[in-house]
Amino acid sequence: MSELNAITVDVVSDVVCPWCFIGQKRLDRAIAAVGDVDVHVRWRPFQLDPTIPPEGKDRREY
């Protein structure tokens, strides 16, 4: 497909959120409905607390 028929969609999502799951299914249906467009989806995580260090934090202290 040409670049004119291509689109990139960035999705910021929480993998345990039921509403995000519903949104993913709706996005899948929308992509299927536009068959002549090459859709590339980039999934990004939604961080609930970006201040937590990579090694984690004791849950009781949090």
Give tens-digit pLDDT for 23-39: 999 999 999 999 889 99
Helices (H), 15-61: 18-33
Token pair 């467009």 is found at 37
Tokens of 55: 């090694």
Phi, psi of 26 (to 5 degrees): -65, -40
One-letter amino acid identity for 53? P
Can you tell me whether residue 4 is helix, strand or coil? helix
3 pLDDT tier (thresholds 50, 70, 90): low
High-pLDDT (> 90) share of the chain, %: 56
14 or 62: whose pLDDT is higher? 14
